[in-house]
Amino acid sequence: MKFARLATAALLLAGTGTVAHAQGETSTPNTPAAPAAVPAAVPTEPAVGLTVYDTNGDTVGTINQYDGQTVVLDTGDNMASFAKTAIGANAKGLFIELSKSQIDRAVDAAEQEAGQKLAALLVPGATVLSSDNVEVGTVKEIDAAGNVVIEREAGPIALPKNQFVAGATGGLSLAFTAAQLEAAIGGTPAAPGA
């Protein structure tokens, strides 16, 4: 019977902020503090627009593109691609184990190396392939304006140097498909999606 009275007293007193103890004593607990602001959720997965930090907590850049596998990071000076696995998460958010300056130096070095490879390939007589590996002609010359003149069966055409890359096979390649080239010079229209 004593237990039933204590339980009833506890229920009645619970609404008043008074706590009933087993020995029948009562006390008033400290007034609870105002609830703390709920911290914003810290991202744990890459998404376009999120900031990425280095391991020191310094900003490296913002995610510009993400396809589920590859993260393209914009450092403000360069764009750099990384596998999703290179991006981690900690209490601050997303991070990468490289600093902004390390990434920028690596991108600059890669661009310089690619430029040197391309310069070595851009010589008269070099075969020019499209990005889909179709032979489109040979380099005739680089004109005074810096355009690359390609000799083709249908006649020569001139394209800016920035439309050429060192191809995956190590040869000289255009940055677009053969169908896109034909469409651009007024030949056969490019197929949809090409």
What H or E segment, with its residue span, contains residue 19?
Answer: strand 19-20
Say yes or no: domain 119-184 is CATH 3.20.20.20. Answer: no
Tokens linked to 190: 């490019």
- Amino acid identity, position 142: I
Give pLDDT tens digits for 42-56.
Answer: 898 999 999 999 999
In 3D space, the residue among 31, 28, 26, 22 whose CA is nearest the CA of residue 3 turns out to be: 22
Q: How far is CA 174 from CA 26, 161, 187, in A?
A: 85, 9, 17
51-108 against 119-184: fold identical = yes
pLDDT given for residue 193 in this prediction: 43
Rounded Cα gap, residues 125 and 147, in angstroms:
15
Partners of 164 in beta bridges: 174
- When pLDDT is cut at 50, 70 and 90, the band that residue 17 belongs to is very low
- φ, ψ at 15 (rounded to 5°): -75, -15
Q: Where are the domains of the chain?
A: 51-108, 119-184
Rounded Cα gap, residues 174 and 194, in angstroms:
14
- Note whether 135 and 179 are within 8 A (CB): no
Give pLDDT tens digits for 138-172.
Answer: 999 998 888 999 999 889 999 999 899 988 788 89
Give the mean pLDDT of 163-187. Answer: 87
- DSSP track, 142-182: E-TTSEEEEE-TT--EEEEGGGEEE-TTSSEEESS-HHHHH
- Note whether 98 and 60 are within 8 A (CB): yes
Q: Cβ neighbours of residue 69 under 8 Å, at least 6 residues apart?
A: 83, 84
Rounded Cα gap, residues 122 and 188, in angstroms:
26
- Would you tell me which CATH number, out of the four given (2.70.50, 3.30.43, 1.20.120, 2.30.30), belongs to the domain 51-108? 2.30.30
Give the pairing type, strands 172-174 and 164-166. Answer: antiparallel
- Note whether 161 and 146 are within 8 A (CB): yes
pTM of the model as a whole: 0.62
pLDDT given for residue 74 in this prediction: 97
